[in-house]
Amino acid sequence: MEPELHPDLEPLKFLLGNWEGAGVGGYPDIESFRFGQEISFSHIGKPYLIYTSRTWRLDDEGNLGEPLARESGYWRAPGGRIELVLAHPTGIAEIYIGKTTGTRVELQTDVVARTETAKEYTAGRRLYGLIGEDLGYAYDMAAEGHGLQSHLSAQLKRVA
């Protein structure tokens, strides 16, 4: 039996479920690429969503290739303010703050922490929102001496 959604999470309930799709990426020191992505938003009745994401490089025919990034974390919405805590296996942890407007969430980093061996990364901005029935996603980052600019975007479909 599925637990009842915590009332704090009402503004984020449109995210619940599993999403799959494809996107494009690039950055000043990275050649443009296509990727496949899976995102999951779930809950256990507590005042947070459980989030995981994983990506793979796509070849010219759209087949999944080498694994790329993974991240996991928790989304909270106390008092309508959105808080996202993310961890990456590359030695980076982030705290984002933001807001929802209907079925759109805008977030920006409040804190970025890195291990000694992690790549230089200083800020991020994320946008999630429904485009019809699909979930659109865009991620801007500031890293490796570059200012905040577009890095990834994807369009994902809800899967059973």
Q: pLDDT by residue (tens digit) across 130-149?
A: 999 999 999 999 999 999 99
User: What tens digit of pLDDT does each residue of 105-133 get?
Assistant: 999 999 999 999 999 999 999 999 999 99
Bridge partners (DSSP) of residue 95 are 85, 111
* Three-class secondary structure of residue 146 per DSSP: coil
Neighbours of 117 (CB within 10 A): 7
Question: Which element (helix H / strand E) includes 84?
Answer: strand 82-88
Instruction: State the pTM of this model.
Output: 0.94
Number of Cα atoms under 13 Å in the Cβ half of residue 76: 11
